[in-house]
Amino acid sequence: MQPTVAAVAVSPRHGFSKPLQASIRLIAGWGVAGDAHSGALVKHRSRVAKNPAQPNLRQVHLIHAELLDELDLAPGAVGENVTVRGVDLLSLPEGALLMLGAAAVVRVSGLRNPCSQLDKYRPGLMKAMLGRDACGGLVRKSGVMATVLTGGDVRPGDAVRVVLPEGEQRRLVPV
């Protein structure tokens, strides 16, 4: 099965879920047009409180549809902008490029760190978004964060292509 975009979502307000859209526009160095988390500098409220001058490594939140299927969640429910199917996002290294549709390119910056808002949406969801690997290490399953390198429109049904970085590949950490 060819990796594809399953759904796209945007919200102009800080909140938890994001409404689905027919398409979204990604803007290089900025994020998703019209989204509360877009911008060159950090927009997530907890990070703004610590240091509002830090770069925004969380311009686009991507999640794998297979996780949403497993947890019986609708796309957009946990605040992601792009839901993809057929891509193992959690195994990608830092700096992996995702070509979304005809033009858009995002660079994976790190893991999304699940937060307690998940349990406000559905009790037990925070625990469901965390797991353990074979060595007992914590696995964050709530998707990845990315920055926009090349803008473009992204729609459900668009192809997703992965380009791995050259050289040493670094494991994703929360951003």
Mean pLDDT for the stretch of residues 151-156: 98
* Residue 20 CB-density burial (10 A; 0-12 exposed, 13-18 middle, 19+ buried): middle
pLDDT the model gives residue 46: 82
pTM assigned to the model? 0.96
Q: Domain for residue 29, yes or no?
A: yes
Is residue 58 in some structural domain? yes
How many domains does the structure of the chain reveal? 1
In a domain, 168, yes or no: no
Domain contains 122: yes
Structural domain harbouring 158: 4-163
Q: What is the pLDDT of residues 17-26, one digit of tens each?
A: 999 999 999 9
pLDDT digits (tens, 9 = 90+) for 128-150: 999 999 999 999 999 999 999 99
In the chain, % of residues over pLDDT 70:
100
| CATH code for the domain of 132 | 2.40.33.20
Q: Evaluate whether residue 68 is within a structural domain.
A: yes
Q: Is residue 46 part of a domain?
A: yes
d(CA 165, CA 10): 28
Averaged over 42-53, what is the pLDDT? 87
Residue 170 lies in a domain: no
End-to-end CA distance of the chain: 30
pLDDT in tens, 62-77: 999 999 999 999 999 9
